[in-house]
Amino acid sequence: MFSKAKNINTAFQYIRTFSLFFLTSCLLLAGLIAYRSLMMVSESQHHIYILANGKVLEAFAAERKDNIPVEARDHISMFHHYFFTLDPDEKVINGNISKALYLADASAKKQYDNLKENGYYRNIISGNISQTIEVDTISFNVNVYPYSFHFVGREKIIRTTSIVTRSLVTEGYLRNVSRSDNNSHGFLIEKWAIVENKDLKMENR
């Protein structure tokens, strides 16, 4: 009788140990599955598929901080492109300046107003002058916010009889703003100033 009770007690302990082991294994497996599922979802969210010309292209999403240097350089480059690329057409001038002013604060508007008041754009139209800008270097400091930048480039002023090359050096700051159709990088140039703008050479045409 005591032997039977002992056997029952041993069997019960065995079943209880096995049940605890099975339950622990199930919990660990469920936790592992949940973790792997979350990791897969997180990874899939970083993949972006773009349809271009009937083809599906895969792109990868990245954190904003990882793209700051690339986006900042492009923002600064595009601002200077729009502000200084001019042709003897009032609609072209107004269109480019309008795009540039979406990328900067009132400091750029002030520069534009000064040029306009001095008849700069009127002279471009009446003299059939075209102006382009080439980027040499763009440097900035991402360690201090707002980010300060230094732009160095060359202007080419194409007249009927000559081509004048000028150096252009500007500086300012970048701060974060909301992205939009008019400002795709989500930066705004502040305290923008032209440090240098002088003739380098002149070629006869």
Give me the percent of the chain exceeding a pLDDT of 90.
Answer: 60
Q: What is the pLDDT of residues 147-194, one digit of tens each?
A: 999 999 999 999 999 999 999 999 999 999 999 999 989 999 999 999
- Alpha-carbon torsion (80, 84, 85, 89), positive or negative: positive
pTM over 0.85: no
What's the pLDDT band for 130 if we cut at 50, 70, 90? very high
Using alpha carbons, select from 175, 106, 105 the residue that is nearest to residue 147.
Answer: 175
Residue range 1-47, pLDDT digits in tens = 545 555 666 766 777 787 788 788 888 888 888 888 777 766 655 55
Which pLDDT value is given to residue 2? 46
- CATH number corresponding to 64-204: 3.10.450.230
| pLDDT at residue 167, as a whole number | 96
Domain boundaries, the chain: 2-48, 64-204
| Residue type at 64 in one-letter notation | R
Separation between Cα atoms, residue 110 and residue 116, nearest integer Å: 10
